Amino acid sequence: MIGQYCSKKTHRGFQISLLLSMFAVAQSHAATDAKPNPRVEGLLEQVVTVATRQPADVLSVNGSISNISDDELRLVGHAHVQQSLNRAAGVNLNRGNGQEYLPAIRSPVLTGAGGCGGFLMTEDGIPLRAAGFCNINELFEAHTEAAERLEILRGSGTALYGSNAMHGVINVVTPSVTAPDRLGFDFGEHGYARMRFSLAGGEQHKFAVRGTLARDDGYRDDAGYGQQKLSVRHAYAGEAFDIESGLTLVNLNQETAGYITGLDAYKNRPVAESNPNPEAFRDARSARLWSKINLPVDGGEWQFTPYARYTTMDFLQHFLPGKPLEENGQKSFGMQLSFFSVGHPTLDLIAGVDAEYTEAYLRQTQANPTTGSAFLRATIPVGKHYDYRVDATQIAPFMQIKWMLADDLSLTFGGRYEMARYDYSNRMLSGRSRDDGTLCGFGGCRYSRPMSAVNSYDNRSLDLAAHYQTTSNQHLYVRLASAFRAPQATELYRLQRGQQIADLDPEKVDSLEIGVKEQRDAFSFGLAIYGMRKENVIFRDSGYNNVSNGETEHRGVELEVSYSLTDNLQMSLNGTYAEHKYANNPALLKDGDGNLVPIDGNDVDSAPRGFGSVRALWKPSPQGRLELEWVRMGSYYLEPRNAYRYAGHNLFNVRGSWDLKPNVTVYVRLLNATDRDYAKRADYTSFTDERYFPGTPRSFGLGVDYVW
């Protein structure tokens, strides 16, 4: 039954020329008035909240923002949020198995215990996780399948955001209480089935309930999942104040397929469909509750948003020797308090404070003896490896001022100061012994537990931007910004080998961005050029210590264009060319003689220079739409030495819809239409050599929506 599933526990030149040619076309078009075409979707005024916490026109925001609309989301009908988010420039989520993924926004694909700390993921403006307790897959805790839109802010977040908003912010906006009632079904290959529903009602007090029930057997062996999501919204508009509230509940039961190994193993269909880890699983549950109270006052408006979060997750770490079970969870309570000025002729002010308190825990336990070499068997014992709790507090005042120097010119300055405190309690014996205190061979056990301690971090960020409106439809901006993230709890307290204390500094990034945006009835254009330098990069060095002395540099060009060639044909492009490089020689790798391997100037692994997509949307009639999508993934290195490379791939997807009646729409989707063998994710380790998450073969899907 749907909703019930039991888990078993040459290209660089091509890309540059493509970007330049599209830029030339866009600039040529900007000199003339675009032909109005209100029938073509997605090219009218776009309003987002991701930068200011209040509705704002995309053109007026200082920064690169993509907005994936409701119409586009329904056409894509994503089974995984990566299928929608990767339609935006600069975004390169690498999908894993089931609902898992590895994130990349204006960055390489970041991995490891703190890789998720480079990005801020929110739903309705509320972070999905507390700042020091992110999860690499945390977007599966958002109700993206029912979203009204997906907002992506690329690069450093504004002063309204703090820790984690370094490379980008994604905000999932759930539908308002005025969205129509809807019932939808989706079916696909490999046992995929999904039901979606929306119900709304009320007058002065308006309510809406939206649900998604899905299951998928997976195209690989023992790799299915069942997922259930429920969102409830309430809105009240009174004479003295407005209040809007939301509740999101998510449950995921997933059987997990691991990497396949061997050079080009993804090209071998029987191997690609196999699962080396049939015992692996992930069970996750989450809940978020919030209320947003808007109180108008003389000269402005106060906005107060209290919220509560709860998450718990159990998963088998099949990628580690001994395959230990991790159990983690957290409870958070917080609030966002903001003041927005209104009515001043030349100044706009946003000021406020964010605060939250978190209780989190993590346990790691191994049930079965480790297999492999004598060293592994001796140093990775059966029993409990970690058991700790962290109580964390975070307080962050912020302010942003916009000064109108002229009708078409403004300056914006923002600043944020953030104080974070972790109170860590080790619930086991400290050190690297077994859980009963006996010692492991070969110098000690792999897993090391620091003594209980308190860690505090104070960070600040600044944001300075100039905005010039050249015409009523075209805007230019330049932006200087800094951002940061505090170390994640797992980086501080989940240590290995002889490390007893992780003396980590917060990661910091400074960035410069120049951009131009244009929006007309039948034409949309956005170009951004950026450079970033990141310091105190946290990583695990060749001695298995968590350290924070890495440096990286990031520069690139991002282009998004949509243009209606005719009343019935719209072309869209998102293109990215970026270079992500190591900027020093951290102790990341050693050669066979124990010497440090120099990597300064090398490309960061999992960082393609170029990627993007081109889409043609044809409307043969008012009732029908047909989209052809070409997705290009450039080549990238698999490890820091730049000795191994994935060649990249091209995929073609076809999507269509037809309105059988004004309130009944049928959707068809053909993904990987040419049945290309490709890797959704590729990397290299010294233990396994090349390894891959194989891509999904050609697959067909059918959906139907009924609206009333």
pLDDT at 62 over 90: yes
- In terms of Cβ atoms closer than 10 Å to its own Cβ (0-12, 13-18, 19+), residue 259 is buried
Q: Does residue 21 fall inside a structural domain?
A: no
Q: Does residue 77 fall inside a structural domain?
A: yes
pLDDT at 43 over 80: no
Residues contacting residue 600 through CB under 8 Å, at least 6 positions apart:
582, 583, 584, 585
The string of DSSP codes covering 414-448 is EEEEEEEEEEEEE-S-SBSS-TTSPPPSTTS-SEE
Domain that holds residue 181: 34-707
pLDDT at 559 over 60: yes
Query: Percent of the chain scored above 90 by pLDDT?
Result: 87
Contact yes or no for 646/636 (Cβ under 8 A): yes
pLDDT at 4 over 80: no
The DSSP bridge partners found for residue 510 are 482, 533
Q: Does residue 135 fall inside a structural domain?
A: yes
The pLDDT tens digits for 239-250 are: 889 999 999 999
Stretch 252-261: mean pLDDT = 96
Q: Does residue 14 fall inside a structural domain?
A: no
pLDDT at 3 over 50: no
pLDDT at 16 over 70: no
The pLDDT tens digits for 413-435 are: 999 999 999 999 999 999 999 99
Residues contacting residue 571 through CB under 8 Å, at least 6 positions apart:
561, 562, 563, 565, 614, 615, 616, 617
Q: Categorize the per-residue pLDDT at 459 as very low, low, confident or very high, splitting at 50, 70 and 90.
A: very high
Q: In what order do the strands lie in the sheet with 64-68?
A: 64-68, 149-154, 168-173, 119-123, 126-127
Rounded Cα–Cα distance for residues 563 and 524 (Å): 6
Burial 30-44 (b: 16+ CB within 10 A, else e): beeebeebeebbbbe
The string of DSSP codes covering 256-269 is ----EESTTGGGSH
Query: Percent of the chain scored above 70 by pLDDT?
Result: 94
**Considering only CA atoms, which of 558, 560, 474 is closest in space to residue 519?**
474
pLDDT the model gives residue 64:
95
Q: Does residue 437 fall inside a structural domain?
A: yes
Stretch 663-692: mean pLDDT = 96
Distances (CA, A) of 650 to 570, 573, 598, 614, 695: 21, 15, 33, 11, 12
- Cα 430 off chain centre by: 35
pLDDT at 42 over 70: no
Rounded Cα–Cα distance for residues 555 and 581 (Å): 9
pLDDT the model gives residue 34:
37
The pLDDT tens digits for 184-229 are: 999 999 999 999 999 999 888 999 999 999 999 999 999 999 999 9
Q: Does residue 665 fall inside a structural domain?
A: yes
pLDDT at 672 over 90: yes
Q: Does residue 646 fall inside a structural domain?
A: yes
The pLDDT tens digits for 290-316 are: 999 999 999 999 999 999 999 999 999
pLDDT at 576 over 60: yes
Q: In what order do the strands lie in the sheet with 260-261?
A: 260-261, 689-694, 679-685
pLDDT at 33 over 50: no
- In terms of Cβ atoms closer than 10 Å to its own Cβ (0-12, 13-18, 19+), residue 568 is middle
Which of 549 and 15 is assigned the larger pLDDT? 549
Which of 27 and 337 is assigned the larger pLDDT? 337
Q: Does residue 166 fall inside a structural domain?
A: yes
Q: What is the CATH number of the domain that holds 245?
A: 2.40.170.20
Q: Pairing mode, if any, of strands 168-173 and 119-123?
A: parallel
Instruction: Indicate the average pLDDT of the chain.
Output: 92
Stretch 348-374: mean pLDDT = 97
pTM of the model: 0.92
pLDDT the model gives residue 238:
87
Q: Categorize the per-residue pLDDT at 18 as very low, low, confident or very high, splitting at 50, 70 and 90.
A: very low
Say which range, 34-48, 122-136, 160-174, 472-486, has the weakest mean pLDDT.
34-48
Rounded Cα–Cα distance for residues 254 and 280 (Å): 9
Question: Residue 265, Cβ neighbours under 10 Å: how many?
Answer: 19
Q: Categorize the per-residue pLDDT at 45 as very low, low, confident or very high, splitting at 50, 70 and 90.
A: low
The total of structural domains in the chain comes to: 1
Stretch 157-162: mean pLDDT = 91
Rounded Cα–Cα distance for residues 46 and 265 (Å): 43
Which of 98 and 15 is assigned the larger pLDDT? 98
Contact yes or no for 676/634 (Cβ under 8 A): no
Q: Categorize the per-residue pLDDT at 279 as very low, low, confident or very high, splitting at 50, 70 and 90.
A: very high
Contact yes or no for 484/459 (Cβ under 8 A): yes
